Structure 1
Amino acid sequence: MYQLAPNIELLFTEAGPDAADRVRAAAAAGFDAVEMWGTSDKDVASLAGALQETGVSLTSLLAEPRTNFTLPGTDLGPFFTGLDRAVENAGLLGCPRVVLGSGIGFPGAKRPQNLARLVEVFTEAVERTRGSGVRLVLEPVNTRVDHPGALLDRTADAVLVAREVGSDSFGLLYDLYHSITEGEDPAAELANAAGLVDYVQIADAPGRGEPGSGAIDWAERLSVLRASGYDGPIGLEYFPTTPSVESLAHIKAVARDA
């Protein structure tokens, strides 16, 4: 059975705007893990208290700003400042991983040059965070629907970057929704990424709603995921079309047998 981690930015919003209250609502609904996006808008001390109080674990958080270092001018300062803050807060929250994005790429560079530059930047990020106990995970995203212009829209390119970085503390976030929306075959992508996938997220397609709202056969997809060797947590990063608890029913039932 997979551990499921609802995203508290999108789920349990019925509990109000406070992240700590959403953690408590997730715990009351029977979940022992949650995920979230960034920490810049959070009361980290209050959130840490709610996690400790409920026994809920935080599976992932994002480094901010999300566009990182790839804005015109390629100033790396904001990226590393945001990374330092994310890793520090991950430590305070007991979170084992920080999610990195690729942004839009470095201006004027072709894809191979951009990928090589990412390797350089993320190698420096690994060195900067060495000893923190936090693993950095790189997320490719789809450009067809959600993230037009993103550099890493192919899982294979993220795999290439991760293999070149070559660190045990650097891996991949594989999002089934993004991969399927981009037209990829999850079985092939997971096989190519063997040994690198440290975290998985899901949403249904089309629509990015809850599992069961779209066309994906989740029993089959989780079977493929299990066959790939992944047995870690699954982040539920979707936009619910029904109340949170109701929207979670289908994937909870499927995950029990996965």
Structure 2
Amino acid sequence: MFQLSPNIELLFTEAGPDAADRIRAAAAAGFDAVEMWGTLDKDITAIRTALDDTGVTMTSVIAEPRTNFTLPGTDLKPFFDGLDRGVENARRLGCPRIVLGSGIGFPGAKRAQNLDKLVEVFREAVSRTEGSGVKLVLEPVNTRVDHPGALLDRTAEAVAVARAVGADSFGILYDLYHSVTEGEDPAAVLADAGELVDYVQIADAPGRGEPGSGALDWAAQLRVLRESGYDGPIGLEYFPTVDTVTSVRHIREKLG
């Protein structure tokens, strides 16, 4: 059985605005892991205390700012400064990975040049974070519905970038919802991604709600994940269509 990790930016909001309170609510609902988005505006000490008190682990956080790279004359300092702080916060929280976005790319550059530039940027990111114990994972996102203009919208290109970066501390995040929404065949893209998949997130499609709210065959999709060799945690990054208690029940019916 996969370890399920609800996203506390979207779930357990009934517990209030503080991440620490949402972690405690997730623990009370029977979860032993959570994920969240950014850390730079969070009370890391309070979150660490909540994790320690409940025994819950943090499975992923997001690097900030979600830089929209530009070329020429690119100023990458905000990206690297934010990454340094985010990795340190992830380390303090015992979180093993931080998620990178591609931004919108470098305007004026051809797609191949954009991807080459990403490889250059992420190699530098790997060098800066070496020895931190925090893995960098690159997330492709769909451009059809949620992220118009994003550079990386295909799993295969994220895989190509990760292979070119060529570091054990760099992998990809495979988000089933983004992949299906973009029109990909999960079995095909996961077969090519192999060992580069370090983390998985899910939501149903269409709608990006909890599993069971859309049209995906969850027994089949979980089988695809298992057959790909993935056995890590699954982030529940979805917008609940019902209250959290009911939503959690739906999750366990579909994924338990």
Distance change >3 Å, CA 134–CA 189, structure 1 → 2: same
Residue pair 1:172, 1:198 contacting (<8 A) in 2 also: yes
| Unaligned stretches of 5+ residues in structure 1 | none
| Unaligned stretches of 5+ residues in structure 2 | none
- 1:68 to partner: Cα distance: 5.1
Give the structure 1 partner of residue 150 of structure 2.
Answer: 150
- 1:157 to partner: Cα distance: 0.5
Amino acid across the alignment from 2:152: L
Correspondence 1:185 to 2:191: no
- 1:249 to partner: Cα distance: 1.7
Residue pair 1:69, 1:77 contacting (<8 A) in 2 also: no
1:23-77 superposed Cα distances (whole Å, 9 cap, x missing partner)? 0000000000000000122111001100000000000000001135448852100
Cα separation, 1, equivalents of 2:73 and 2:146: 24
1:181-212 superposed Cα distances (whole Å, 9 cap, x missing partner)? 00000000000101100000000111111110
Cα separation, 2, equivalents of 1:197 and 1:30: 26
Correspondence 1:138 to 2:138: yes
1:69-101 superposed Cα distances (whole Å, 9 cap, x missing partner)? 448852100100010011000011000000000
SS at match of 1:114: helix
TM-score under structure 2 length normalisation = 0.98
Residue pair 2:35, 2:59 contacting (<8 A) in 1 also: yes
Residue pair 2:16, 2:22 contacting (<8 A) in 1 also: yes
Amino acid across the alignment from 1:82: G
SS at match of 2:210: coil
Cα separation, 2, equivalents of 1:54 and 1:127: 34
Amino acid across the alignment from 1:170: F
- 1:213 to partner: Cα distance: 0.4
Cα separation, 2, equivalents of 1:69 and 1:182: 22
Residue pair 2:68, 2:105 contacting (<8 A) in 1 also: no
Query: How many residues are matched?
Result: 256
Cα separation, 1, equivalents of 2:180 and 2:16: 32
Cα separation, 1, equivalents of 2:27 and 2:120: 40
Give the structure 1 partner of residue 84 of structure 2.
Answer: 84
Cα separation, 2, equivalents of 1:243 and 1:41: 26
- 1:254 to partner: Cα distance: 3.1
Residue pair 1:100, 1:136 contacting (<8 A) in 2 also: yes
After superposing on structure 2, the runs of 4+ consecutive aligned residues of structure 1 that deviate more than 4 Å are 70-73
Residue pair 2:65, 2:82 contacting (<8 A) in 1 also: yes
Residue pair 2:3, 2:234 contacting (<8 A) in 1 also: yes
Give the structure 1 partner of residue 109 of structure 2.
Answer: 109
- 1:252 to partner: Cα distance: 1.8
Cα separation, 1, equivalents of 2:224 and 2:217: 11
Give the structure 2 partner of residue 174 of structure 1.
Answer: 174
Cα separation, 2, equivalents of 1:203 and 1:220: 14
- 1:253 to partner: Cα distance: 2.8
Amino acid across the alignment from 1:65: P
Q: RMSD of aligned C-alpha atoms?
A: 1.1
Give the structure 2 partner of residue 16 of structure 1.
Answer: 16
- 1:133 to partner: Cα distance: 0.4
Residue pair 1:61, 1:90 contacting (<8 A) in 2 also: yes
Cα separation, 1, equivalents of 2:71 and 2:97: 24
Amino acid across the alignment from 1:144: R
Percent identity (aligned): 79
**1:95-244 equivalences in 2 (<5 Å):** 95-244=95-244
Amino acid across the alignment from 1:133: G
Amino acid across the alignment from 1:193: A
